[in-house]
Structure 1
Amino acid sequence: MSEPLYARDDFQKCLASWWSGLAGRTTDGEEGDRAPNRKHRAELRRAKRTMDVCLSEAFAHGFLSALKDCGIVPRDDEIEGLARLAGLAAHVQTLAERPMGGIMAQPRASGAAVAVSPQRFRKLLTIEDPDDFFVAMVRMLRLTDGRANLASLSRACQNWTDTTRRWWAMEYYNVLPSKESEHATSKR
């Protein structure tokens, strides 16, 4: 079996390039030199579930075409995870270095103690249905003010397993301020 797409450097570079065209930003968050693809971004942001993304022009003629231009041809069993990724990437405003679990434990720009509360984070980790994961992650991206790590997000979209959940939990609780962590533990 071949290496999963999310683990390939060429895929991550192609994903970042596609996202920068979608958002009209460079991968370091600066305004890009090309206009954002507002039509595709809006179409993907309106998607309520993974199938809505799969059936969109933005996915077929946008993301999948970008992958093809990079020489990447996804297998049939990878399409659904890629659709989730494309739909969620449309909600990303700023790329971050920190993995997704850690991003959710960081403070919001509005001054909230953490972007995602420990209770909400634990609920996210219990989700098994792919469409429920998609809906929950749209909410999480709103709570993080659109900050995301595309590599971490792509792994989760294509491989939402117990291993991925454990990584996210370790990242989250390593970043979570200790008083938040103590408060979350006492509520159990």
Structure 2
Amino acid sequence: MNSDFRRNPGLRQALHDWWNGLNDQRGDRAQLRRAHNITAVVLTPAYQRVYRRLRAAGWRHAADAPVNDRLAAIVGLLAHVETHGDASLPQAMSARKPGDDRPAVSPLRFQRLLESPDLDALYSGLRRVLPLLQRPASIVALADDLLCWGDDVKKTWAYDYEWPVQKAD
């Protein structure tokens, strides 16, 4: 599936504008951050507002389309992102902590994300990982990856993550 965010600049801009506005909409950010799963995200007024905003900007999926769960995951996770950068999410996860040679997200934890059995498990895992990031990730890359989540994205993530070098015994 090609990402609607890559194909539709208006949709991408609406996502950016909404995310940038979260600093002024602290109540919306708090509602979304408290949502422990995708259903909880969908049931918040904050999500419903951004959903309608994105519909007006070009999100063309019917309300009952399964892809809307992916959109809810995107919105819920973006509420946990404080700064926007140019790194892919795996690059941000493998960035080293200052003064430490260990990545922000351990290889084992990263591998567990790749093995998430469903979207809710991935959402839960990413919710816990996002506060650990040392390098800002691209919000559009995060959105695209979640929207297109599957084997191709998993492989791309595996290549983008900077796996630590094994030390010889």
| Counterpart Cα distance in 1 of 2:139 and 2:4 | 13
Contact 1:45/1:91 (8 A) holds in 2: yes
TM-score, normalised relative to structure 2: 0.87
Pairing 1:9-88 to 2, within 5 Å after superposition? 9-22=9-22, 24=23, 36-61=24-49, 63-75=50-62, 76-88=65-77
After superposition, the C-alpha distances for 1:121-173 in whole angstroms (9 at most, x for unaligned) are 11111112111100000111011158332122112322220100011111113
Unpaired runs of at least 5, structure 1: 25-35
Percent of pairs with identical residues: 28
Contact 1:91/1:146 (8 A) holds in 2: no
TM-score, normalised relative to structure 1: 0.79
User: Which of residues 110, 123, 130 in structure 2 aligns to 1:141?
Assistant: 130
Unpaired runs of at least 5, structure 2: none
Pairing 1:103-142 to 2, within 5 Å after superposition? 103-108=92-97, 111=100, 113-142=102-131
Residue 165 (structure 2) aligns with = 181
After superposition, the C-alpha distances for 1:84-116 in whole angstroms (9 at most, x for unaligned) are 000000000011101111111102358563111
Q: 1:67 to 1:17 in 2, by over 3 A?
A: same
| Counterpart Cα distance in 2 of 1:111 and 1:170 | 22
| Counterpart Cα distance in 1 of 2:136 and 2:87 | 10
SS, match of residue 182 in structure 1? coil
Amino acid at match of 1:121: F
Pairing 1:82-101 to 2, within 5 Å after superposition? 82-101=71-90
Contact 1:6/1:158 (8 A) holds in 2: no
Contact 2:92/2:134 (8 A) holds in 1: no
Count of residue pairs brought into register by the alignment: 165
Amino acid at match of 1:57: P
Structure 1's consecutive aligned runs of 4 or more residues displaced over 6 angstroms after TM superposition are none
More relative contact order, 1 or 2 (CA 8 Å, 6+ apart): 2
Contact 1:141/1:147 (8 A) holds in 2: no
| Counterpart Cα distance in 2 of 1:48 and 1:10 | 29
